[in-house]
Amino acid sequence: MHRKHHQFETRKGFSLLEVSISTLLVAVLMITSLKCVGAVVRGRGMTARYVQAEQLAQEMMTEIMRKPYRDNSLPLFGLELLEAVYINGPRSNYDDVDDYNGWSASPPKDRTNTTITNTTDWQRQVSVAWVNKSAPSQVLLYESGLKRITVTVKYQGTTMATLVALRSQDFEIDASDR
């Protein structure tokens, strides 16, 4: 009698266990990839918001810094009596730096009080204060010859940008540059 030696037959498919493990590995890789893509998309959105916040803050600061240090006709701090009707209205009548103190708009508006497009969830705020010339972080209650201007931009209540500038009475911008 001859014994037949069984040789391994070549397989033509995968076992159920191999398919299950492969499917699990692909699923884990897909989930990980989607999480990474999601993080990148969120990061880009945040970066775009920070850029927009910086632009909104810079636009406002540029507008303010082009104004004279004080009103020549009635040098009071803040809005003078006739300007008070414009506290959160058009800024086209603001004629000096401290007129912007306390100004706020949500959504942000331009000088003519027109809402800036695509800024529904945004807010801009301005504060102006007299400060000590030798220590600008120290706020004073009297004229010091130096004002600190702070522009804050928020998105959905979260501060996204803050710009701070100092304006001296010793430096005036030429009227043609305003």
Looking at the structure of the chain, the number of domains it has is 1
Domain assignment present for residue 47? The answer is yes
Domain assignment present for residue 24? The answer is no
Q: Is 157 helix (H, G, I), strand (E, B) or coil?
A: coil
Which pTM does this prediction carry? 0.73
Domain assignment present for residue 7? The answer is no
Domain assignment present for residue 29? The answer is no
Using an 8 Å Cβ cutoff, are 161 and 152 in contact? yes
* Domain region containing 63: 42-177
Domain assignment present for residue 36? The answer is no
Q: How far is the C-alpha of 112 from the C-alpha of 96, rounded, in Å?
A: 16
Domain assignment present for residue 170? The answer is yes
Domain assignment present for residue 37? The answer is no
Cα 45 vs. chain centroid, distance in angstroms?
A: 12
Domain assignment present for residue 86? The answer is yes
**Token pair recorded at residue 145:** 């010859």
Q: What is the pLDDT along the chain (178 residues), one digit of tens a residue?
A: 555 555 556 667 778 888 888 888 988 888 888 888 877 777 777 788 999 999 999 999 999 999 998 877 666 777 766 666 656 667 878 888 988 998 899 999 988 888 999 899 999 999 999 999 999 999 999 989 999 999 999 999 999 999 999 999 887 666 555 4
